[in-house]
Amino acid sequence: MNNIEIFIIGVSLAMDAFAVAICKGLSFRKLNIKNCTTIGIYFGMFQGLMPLIGFVLGLSFQEIITKIDHWVAFILLSVIGTNMIKDSFLSDKENLNQNINFKAMFPLALATSIDALAVGITFAFLKVNILFAITVISITTFFISVIGVIIGNKVGNKFEKRAEFIGGLLLVIMGLKILLEHLKII
């Protein structure tokens, strides 16, 4: 997996955080740099931590699953991506308030990073440089989340569902690419 693909996965994983960051941005009457950076740090840290945990878990199962790793990557990325696409069509909105304390942000950061755990498992099978990958994912998520808060505060929820849809679609495409490469179709 090359650096561009890791960046694309980082952007895709950040779309859940972006959607929630937009909602958080909606809740602020007056936005400040502390709010933006706090939200970005929470989402960025969790998006980086979860692939690391997944990577460690993946290494534990590597000997067992090496022969089917491309199928595992394809299935995990496709399921995550398909769920994101499906969620982009649902109309239920999370009731978010302007709190950015641990109690408010922890469940949001955890919920938006569960898919990154599965991606981390995939990284173990593909022998990805995990330190580089989690750095890219964390930094990308941080900036995308900050942008999401600002957009949410300025223009509302116009882009939230589109971002989630595009992120899901990119994950499905990456999973398909991995499968086709291992089957030597591309």
Lowest pLDDT segment from 32-46, 122-136, 137-151, 152-166? 152-166
CB 162 within 8 A of CB 15: no
Encoding tokens for residue 107?
């469940």
pLDDT at 158: 62
Question: Is 166 a residue whose pLDDT tops 90?
Answer: no
Distance between CA atoms of residues 139 and 46, nearest Å = 11
Please tell me what DSSP assigns to residue 126.
T
Mean pLDDT, rounded, of the chain: 85
170 CA to centre of own chain: 11
Most confident of 10-19, 46-55, 71-80: 46-55
CB 177 within 8 A of CB 186: yes
Give residue 95's pLDDT band: very low, low, confident or very high (50, 70, 90). very low
pLDDT digits (tens, 9 = 90+) for 40-71: 999 999 999 999 999 999 888 767 766 777 78
Tracing tokens 């942000």 back to the chain, one arrives at 105
Amino acid at the residue 148: G
